[in-house]
């Protein structure tokens, strides 16, 4: 099988592909036009975050048998267009679950203990102990929306801090386990003191957290988003922070991550968030560790090989 790789990737992938018997071409500098020009020659395509794979590209790819995304989520791929052509679609959701879970807990602890605020003040010669008195994670009720790889890994970490973890996942059944109670969305919104999002970006989840969602929460709460920025409306978050309904937020992702190209409303919301002591921001790196970079490749190659075995057994 001949595979085209069009994004930067950890070099561990190359040896894995060789050992599996695949031939690959590594072109991380390829733009959309380049993909359109060359894709016809390849049975496999590996992407990360640069290019949306849509009908136009797939029309140019008569040999294509799979698309693999070296990351979590498939919102960069037109799934319907791929399915129409019997093209398999893979994502390495499992590969960065430990990284995401650790990042979520780290951001939450940083927010609760005022670590970012206190660090900034001490560097300025301000020694304010009382103003940085924190709160404890122990005993807090945390609601996870989405209980796949990342959600369940986060629940495991939080349970170790003595949290009461509730989980809601619309597309799973009987998923409660030793680390989280399975609940309805209504029960989660009634009891949770912290909400953490672990769902893919779809039309259903776009702006899931909006003014109405925040208003429906029974208690003031903390909000974490390690999933996709478009799931959370930033103007709604600002409104929630101003009203006190949102006590604080940790955002690894934003609606628009091209900070030089924000709309006026997005800029106003971002300016409020970046100057607030109740907000911790990171640049979409929750799943971005040295270890996850390799694990993602391992997961992808394993899925490609499994798909090959299924195809061969069907012949």
Q: Can you read off the two tokens belonging to residue 8?
A: 């930067």
Residues known to be catalytic: 228, 257, 284
DSSP one-letter code for 232:
B
3 state SS of 267 = helix
Phi, psi of 304 (to 5 degrees): -65, -45
- CA-based nearest residue to 299, from 152, 92, 44, 150: 92
> What is the C-alpha to C-alpha distance for residues 166 and 311, in angstroms, rounded to an integer?
40
Question: Per DSSP, what are the bridge partners of residue 164?
Answer: 141
- In the chain the beta strands, taken as DSSP E runs, fall at 2-5, 23-26, 44-47, 66-69, 88-91, 141-145, 164-168, 181-182, 194-197, 221-225, 246-251, 279-281
- Angle (CA) 173 226 290, round 5°: 110
Please name the residues in contact with 148: beta carbons below 8 A apart, sequence gap of 6 or more. Answer: 93, 169, 172, 198
Q: From CA 122, how far away is CA 126, in angstroms rounded?
A: 5
Tell me how crowded residue 217 is: count the other CB atoms within 10 A of its CB: 20
């Amino acid at each position: 099988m001949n595979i085209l790789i069009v994004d930067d990737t950890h070099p561990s992938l190359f040896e894995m592909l060789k050992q599996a018997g695949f031939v690959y071409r590594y072109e991380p500098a390829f733009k959309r036009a380049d993909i359109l020009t060359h894709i016809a020659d390849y049975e496999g395509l590996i992407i990360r975050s640069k290019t949306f794979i849509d009908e136009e590209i797939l029309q140019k790819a008569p040999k294509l048998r799979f698309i693999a995304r070296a990351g979590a989520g498939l919102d960069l791929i037109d799934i319907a267009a791929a399915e129409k052509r019997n093209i398999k679609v893979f994502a390495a959701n499992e590969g960065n679950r430990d990284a995401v879970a650790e990042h979520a807990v780290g951001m939450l602890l940083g927010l609760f203990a005022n670590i970012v605020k206190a660090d900034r003040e001490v560097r300025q010669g301000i020694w304010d102990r009382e103003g940085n008195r924190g709160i404890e994670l122990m005993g807090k009720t945390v609601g996870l929306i989405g209980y796949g790889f990342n959600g369940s890994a986060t629940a495991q970490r939080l349970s170790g801090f003595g949290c009461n973890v509730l989980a809601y996942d619309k597309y799973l059944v009987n998923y409660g386990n030793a680390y989280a109670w399975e609940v309805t969305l209504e029960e989660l919104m009634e009891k949770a003191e912290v909400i953490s999002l672990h769902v893919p970006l779809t039309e259903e989840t776009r702006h899931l957290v909006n003014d109405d969602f925040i208003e429906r929460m029974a208690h003031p709460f903390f909000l974490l988003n390690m999933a996709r920025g478009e799931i959370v409306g930033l103007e709604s978050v600002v409104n929630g922070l101003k009203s006190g309904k949102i006590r604080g937020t940790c955002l690894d992702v934003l609606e628009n991550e091209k900070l030089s190209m924000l709309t006026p409303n997005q800029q106003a919301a971002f300016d409020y968030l970046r100057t607030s002591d109740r907000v911790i921001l990171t640049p979409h790196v929750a799943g971005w560790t040295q270890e996850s970079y390799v694990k993602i490749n391992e997961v992808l190659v394993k899925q490609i090989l499994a798909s090959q075995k299924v195809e061969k057994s069907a012949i």
